[in-house]
Amino acid sequence: MPPSAVVIGVDSSTQSTKAVLTDADTGRTLAVGSAPHRVTGVAGARETDPEVWWDALRAAVGAGVDQAGIPSASVTGIAVAGQQHGLVVLGRDGRPLRHALLWNDTRSAPQAAALTEEFGGPAAWTARTGSVPVASYTATKWRWLRENEPATADAAAAVRLPHDFLTERLAGVPATDPGDASGTGWYATATGAYDPGLLALIGLDAALLPPVAATGAARAGTLTAAAAAELGLPAGIAVAAGTGDNMAAAVGLGLGGAGLLDHPVLSLGTSGTVFAATRARPASPALSGFAATDGTYLPLACTLNCTLAVDKVAGLLGLGREAAAPGGEAVLLPYLDGERTPDLPTAAGLLTGLRHTTTREQLLGAAYEGAVVTVLRALDEVLRACGPEAAAASDRPLRLIGGGARGRMWVETVRRLSGRAVVMPEAGELVALGAAALAAAAAGGGDPVAVATAWGTGSGPVLPPVERDLETWHRVTSVLDHATPALLS
Residues annotated as catalytic are 245
Distance CA 435, CA 345 (A): 31
Distance CA 431, CA 20 (A): 10
Collect all residues with Cβ–Cβ distance below 8 Å to 200 and sequence separation of at least 6: none
Q: Within 10 Å of residue 196's Cβ, how many Cβ atoms?
A: 11
Distance CA 438, CA 247 (A): 11
Report the residue count for the chain. Answer: 489
**Nearest in space to 77 (alpha carbons), one of 430, 443, 437, 447:** 443
Distance CA 47, CA 86 (A): 9
Q: Number of helices and strands (H, E) in the chain?
A: 18, 22
CA distances from 416 to 182, 310, 327, 370 (A): 34, 17, 13, 13
Report the chain's C-alpha Rg in angstroms.
21
Distance CA 177, CA 218 (A): 9
Distance CA 199, CA 188 (A): 11
